[in-house]
Amino acid sequence: WIVDLTANAEGRFQTEEAPKGRIRLQATQEGFTDEGQGSKEVEAPSPQPVILKLNRPTFSISGRVVMRENQQGVAGFILRAAAQNAGANRKEFMAETDGTGLYRFDNLERGNYQVSSVAKENSHLNAVIPINEDFKNVRLFEKSVDKVDFFAVSGLVVSGLVVTSGGQPVNGAEVTVAGLDAASTFSGSDGRFRLQGVPMPSSGQDIGLYTLRLAASHEQYGTGLSDPLPANAGQELTNITITLQGLTNLTGNVVDRQGAGVPGARVMLRDLIQPQVQETMTDSSGGFVFQNVSSTAQPFAQLR
């Protein structure tokens, strides 16, 4: 006699079909481990509820932060690990290096984590680290991640000008590192800016979808990208120009396989330069519109 049961939201299960005699119950669930209490043998019918226990394993990420110049560990360096899930309540964890530069994030659930530096001058310390699981016979094998090392370097100062597509200076544009939530500043009345704590281009690390660039945005004039920052620039870069490309409306339709419009469909527009997402719903004919969308002169394939 074998039967599969599914527990309800409270974890309860029940069957009235079990034959009299000794039977074995075993609980399995993807993402959980059985450390000895997930299966039991009982006499049926059992006068008391049978309790089976599974454990949700946790993981860790560890490594060192060292100075690139001398390979010495950096004490008191603060790192952030942010869970890369789509929910609104994304978890963040903080860790500080010890006297030898060692850090460790504990009690992490499975998923992808973006580990980055809190210090703006080391904002290039930015890596997405997956914590994966292998399943065999519905058992989960824990896979923590260690020896994830980062090199700390001095920050770079970049100055330049933000202009419109017509060449006019833009006041109040926010200037950041494209694809990285770290250093930021605003342009002045003459369109000029000075941004500190920019990653060193010589580090050779891509930031998200892009080689190292600056991005500027303004609610009236849209978004723009600088050219890739040159490598081996020393401690300061000057005369970097960022041209804002203006705003536009984006319209389209959602249709089914027969070509008929789909009303009430959810449409999301993700900004690939700034970490922003817009949402809307299709109308009765399947049409949708996004207003005041930032545009860029570079095709997506050329951003790397």
pLDDT tens sequence across 140-172: 334 566 776 766 655 678 999 999 988 999 999
pTM of the model: 0.46
pLDDT tens sequence across 15-46: 877 888 888 888 888 767 777 788 888 888 88
| Beta bridge mates, 24 | 41
Distance (Å, whole) CA 293 – CA 295: 6
pLDDT tens sequence across 217-228: 898 888 888 888
Concatenated DSSP letters for 213-265? -EEEEETTTEEEEPPPPPSS-TTEEEEEEEE--BEEEEEEE-B-TTS-B-TT-
